[in-house]
Structure 1
Amino acid sequence: MAKPTLHDFIETKISGEHVSEDDVVTLRRYVYGDMVVSLEEGAALFRLNSADLTFAPDWYELFPEAIGDILVHQARPQGYVSDENASWLIEQVGLDGRVCSRTELEAVLHVLEKARKAPEHLEQFALRTVADSVISGTGATRSGADLVPGVIADGEVELLRRVLYAGAGCSGMAISRAEAEILFDLNDATVESENAPAWLELFAKAVANHVMALSGFAPPSREVALAREDWLNAPGGFEGGLSGFFKKMIGGGISGVRDAYSDQPDPFAERGAAMAAEISVNEVVTEGEAGWLVERIGRDGVLHENEKALLRFIREESPNIHPDLRPLMEKLD
């Protein structure tokens, strides 16, 4: 009698109710038995993941690991995700019409975090997936939690930050226009909500990073601009860490940005000092920047507190305010 294949085993498990720890061990043997994980095996794992089953905890480690090995570690050249493989991943995630945060989104993030370079559309897909789930109250970030649709909670802020931060490993040093647009869309959609305070911080820091890039400045890497965990234990606690950084960056204008990045402890200090030395020569908001900001801020007809913080940043430190921005500046408190 022929030995059951991976396909046979998965079909048997789909007809049941639960994938046990022993089942995960068996799956690992099937997938890694020949030391190579194929796209066909990856598609089989996606099929199992999409079934209406309960899973042992080890499944949530095996699934992202296997997908990452397919698209990153076994890629040629290693570490570079091709356009075709990125499209394959997006297609697999969307086959059942929903995204599960503990597996499918985790697999996408695992790929982005491990890759040396990945197509921009893969990261934008992850960011848009999280943003859409925030607005709808279902999907990737909910995972059974009783959260309110249209409200950005702390956990969702951290997930958004993680998606943005993952782009640093894919040669996306600055926040892109597409990413900034997604953040603006999410901000507009949740303007009436009581969002977590951390959302304002992330939004303003990320968009400021993008504006710096527009002006020709080599902006702080995402590692520096978006990381939180290394600051939470800084001297002075939260106030001295992330909160202190944000107050310097936004409240202190250009000089605050210089101070904020220069003051960061290792491993950011050396990089921060070089960035701080460059910031002072890029204080002018160009016509291109102004046009984009005016269109983007005015799209929903509401001037949000997050957007006011950005405008104050520009007003206080730019030597020449572009005329297109003056009507918005006049609306500031």
Structure 2
Amino acid sequence: MTTHFIELAQRAAADGQVTAEELLALRRQGWGDGIITREEAEALFALNNALEERSQAWVDFFVEAIGEHVLNGTPPRLQCSDAEAEWLIAQIDHDGIVESMAELECMVRIIERAENTPDRLKSYVLAQVEREVLNGTGPTRCGGELSATHISAAECRIIRRVIFASGGHGPAAVTRFDAEMLFRLKDETLAEENAAEWDDLFVDGVANYLKGFALENAQVSHERKLELEAFAADNTPNVARFMGKVAREAPQIGNHFGKVFGKRQGAPDYAALAAKGEAVTDHESEWLEKMIGADGEIDELESRLLARIAAEG
């Protein structure tokens, strides 16, 4: 199956285009066994690099296939390991830039879908968008938006999706890295005609960092999930006997069970965590004062941010 898939991709790459028939054949071959292998994924990257034009149908397939390989190619499912993130970045960054919207969308969708992604991948995506804002070139600037130092609607959407993604530091958890990037973009584009979505994005993002959830353990690590899945899948006699004993003795063991495995934790109480996170700490206040005072004045967006914090405080 892999050999035929790669041959199909190579023939399309030689022509510099993917016909509807070739795309259908790739879909059938790719999903025939339910797995996109590393060799197949690399063949798709080579094909994407060779294309003169990328149709929406191709972008949809490319994003879906690469995401399936990264998130579900190896256990545990819906996790992107450090090694997988480095492989993905190496495939995209071979010439130092993100060539196409297909590649950018591929990374963003993985961050959105994943239960956990390395900081390296998220930081890489945001750095690419920041570079495009400042240089005015890149995959988000198709359609004539080639002037530098302004923020387009496409860039606002990507930034919002990444910083609020489930595969970041926690559900809707904006980091200090993200907040400082938003401040840098604001300072560089303050006098420009930014997209209408930008003002709300800046205020929402920085306010979330200052007053958002404090979920230190929101994510289950890649290694820990592997351990949990291996234990759950183990049907050896020893594990079966152990689980049976737990079931039989559950009424009697009480706190002893907790001493062995730790106190059972239910789902996070997000309402309580949000309430806990509402107070802006002294450290956060000092950080905000430093960011706002960097240019010696309070601009309109900073005023809106301060008003939001005061209203919610």
Q: TM-score range by the shorter chain?
A: 0.7 to 0.9
Whether 1:278 and 2:283 are equivalent positions in the alignment is no
Q: Cα distance, 1:44 vs. partner?
A: 1.4
Q: Cα distance, 1:42 vs. partner?
A: 1.1
Instruction: From the superposition, tell whether residues 70 and 52 of structure 1 become closer, same or farther in structure 2 (CA, over 3 Å).
Output: closer
Instruction: From the superposition, tell whether residues 128 and 301 of structure 1 become closer, same or farther in structure 2 (CA, over 3 Å).
Output: farther
In the alignment, the residues of structure 2 paired with residue 311 and residue 144 of structure 1 have an alpha-carbon distance, to the nearest angstrom, of: 35
- Residue identity in the other structure for 1:79: L
1:199 corresponds in structure 2 to 198
In the alignment, the residues of structure 2 paired with residue 110 and residue 179 of structure 1 have an alpha-carbon distance, to the nearest angstrom, of: 18
Q: Encode CA deviations 1:240-274: one digit per residue, 9 max, x unaligned.
A: xxxxxxxxxxxxxxxxxxxxxxxxxxxxxxx9993
Whether 1:103 and 2:102 are equivalent positions in the alignment is yes
2:148 corresponds in structure 1 to 149
- Residue identity in the other structure for 1:304: D
In the alignment, the residues of structure 2 paired with residue 114 and residue 128 of structure 1 have an alpha-carbon distance, to the nearest angstrom, of: 20
In the alignment, the residues of structure 2 paired with residue 295 and residue 108 of structure 1 have an alpha-carbon distance, to the nearest angstrom, of: 32
In the alignment, the residues of structure 2 paired with residue 196 and residue 272 of structure 1 have an alpha-carbon distance, to the nearest angstrom, of: 36
- State the percentage of identical aligned residues: 35
Structure 2: give runs of 5+ residues left out of the alignment: 219-267
Q: Encode CA deviations 1:166-196: one digit per residue, 9 max, x unaligned.
A: 2467735411111111111211221221223
Q: Cα distance, 1:315 vs. partner?
A: 5.8
Q: What's the secondary structure of 2:164's corresponding residue?
A: helix
Aligned ranges for residues 1-333 of structure 1 at < 5 Å?
5-167=4-166, 171-213=170-212, 274=271, 278=275, 282-283=278-279, 285-301=280-296, 303-314=298-309
Q: Encode CA deviations 1:49-69: one digit per residue, 9 max, x unaligned.
A: 112422443211110111111
Q: What's the secondary structure of 1:85's corresponding residue?
A: helix
Instruction: From the superposition, tell whether residues 28 and 170 of structure 1 become closer, same or farther in structure 2 (CA, over 3 Å).
Output: farther
Q: Cα distance, 1:4 vs. partner?
A: 6.5
Structure 1 stretch 52-61 or stretch 34-43: which is displaced more? 52-61
- Residue identity in the other structure for 1:146: E
Q: Cα distance, 1:300 vs. partner?
A: 4.6
Structure 1 stretch 77-86 or stretch 17-26: which is displaced more? 17-26
- Residue identity in the other structure for 1:158: R
Query: Structure 2-normalised TM-score?
Result: 0.72
The alignment yields a C-alpha RMSD, in angstroms, of: 3.2
Aligned positions, number? 262
- Residue identity in the other structure for 2:285: A
- Residue identity in the other structure for 2:275: E
Q: Cα distance, 1:79 vs. partner?
A: 1.1
Instruction: From the superposition, tell whether residues 25 and 123 of structure 1 become closer, same or farther in structure 2 (CA, over 3 Å).
Output: same
Query: Structure 1-normalised TM-score?
Result: 0.68
Q: Does the CA-based 8 Å contact 2:207-2:309 persist in structure 1?
A: no
Q: Cα distance, 1:307 vs. partner?
A: 1.5
Q: Which has the larger radius of gyration?
A: 2
In the alignment, the residues of structure 1 paired with residue 304 and residue 37 of structure 2 have an alpha-carbon distance, to the nearest angstrom, of: 48
Q: Does the CA-based 8 Å contact 1:63-1:107 persist in structure 2?
A: yes
Q: Encode CA deviations 1:1-42: one digit per residue, 9 max, x unaligned.
A: xx9744444333333232111111222234334332112221
- Residue identity in the other structure for 2:73: Q
In the alignment, the residues of structure 2 paired with residue 276 and residue 217 of structure 1 have an alpha-carbon distance, to the nearest angstrom, of: 7
In the alignment, the residues of structure 1 paired with residue 274 and residue 117 of structure 2 have an alpha-carbon distance, to the nearest angstrom, of: 30
Q: Does the CA-based 8 Å contact 1:42-1:66 persist in structure 2?
A: yes
Higher relative contact order (CA 8 A, sep 6+): 2
In the alignment, the residues of structure 2 paired with residue 275 and residue 183 of structure 1 have an alpha-carbon distance, to the nearest angstrom, of: 27
In the alignment, the residues of structure 2 paired with residue 287 and residue 277 of structure 1 have an alpha-carbon distance, to the nearest angstrom, of: 18
Greater helix share, structure number: 2
Q: Encode CA deviations 1:131-168: one digit per residue, 9 max, x unaligned.
A: 22122211131134334321123333222212223246
